[in-house]
Amino acid sequence: MKKADRYTYRVTWSEEDGEHVGLCTEFPSLSWLAGSPTAALAGVRKVVARVVSDMEENGEPVPEPIATRAYSGRFVVRVPPQTHRRLVTEAAESGISLNRLISSKLEA
């Protein structure tokens, strides 16, 4: 499997262009317009593969695919104090931890 096959791709409709647009999350500046979703995906995958190949040939760092990165499951979010207080109160009234409350809200 080529590294370019591990990147995060999606296809969406562009009303402005009147075509489907293929995108790659790890390469936000790259896209491919086409008349069908299948062609848009194929096009952006080819562009990404060429860019990755060029980067490797020139000794440039190549972005790591999101799918292969390691995640700890932990991140810090800053919120206003009144939001923090409201969430702590909601968690206490529900009989669960603040962490569990926030996790359930993020999953919703």
How many residues belong to the chain? 108
Q: How many CA atoms lie within 13 Å of 26's alpha carbon, on the beta-carbon side?
A: 23
State how far the Cα of 59 lies from the Cα of 13, in Å rounded to an integer. 35
Chain region(s) in the chain for CATH 3.30.160? 3-67
> Which value, to the nearest 10 degrees, does the dihedral of the CA atoms of residues 58, 61, 64, 70 take?
150
Tokens of 46: 């080819």
Pick the CATH number of 3-67 from 3.30.410, 3.30.160, 3.40.50, 3.30.70: 3.30.160
Q: Are residues 64 and 32 in contact, defined by beta-carbon separation less than 8 angstroms?
A: no
Whole-angstrom CA distances from 98 to 13, 51, 81 are 39, 44, 14
Residues 6+ apart with CB under 8 A from 47: 30, 32
pTM of the model: 0.75
- pLDDT in tens for each of the 108 residues of the chain? 677 899 999 999 999 999 999 999 999 999 999 999 999 999 999 999 999 999 999 999 999 999 999 999 998 999 999 999 999 999 999 999 999 999 999 998
Which of these, 55, 13, 57, lies nearest to 31 by C-alpha position? 13
